[in-house]
Amino acid sequence: MPFAALAAATTPTAHIGLGLAAVGRPGYINLHRDRDLPADRDP
């Protein structure tokens, strides 16, 4: 879907939510994820 069509079909709130999700996801994936996994796991 072209960006112009997406902009016409969604609200500004949806744009903010999508932007925040894109910014927050790399940190969620990379920061301290080792704490969520068992210590005796294979790399």
User: So what's the pLDDT on residue 19?
Assistant: 65
Place of tokens 């072209």: 2
Q: Where are the beta strands (DSSP E) in 1-43?
A: none
User: So what's the pLDDT on residue 39?
Assistant: 77
What residue segments make up the domains of the chain, in order of their start?
Answer: 1-42
The pLDDT tens digits for 1-43 are 566 666 676 676 666 666 666 666 666 666 777 677 777 877 6
Question: What is the torsion angle, in degrees rounded to the nearest 10, for the CA atoms of residue 16, residue 20, residue 22 and residue 23?
Answer: 140
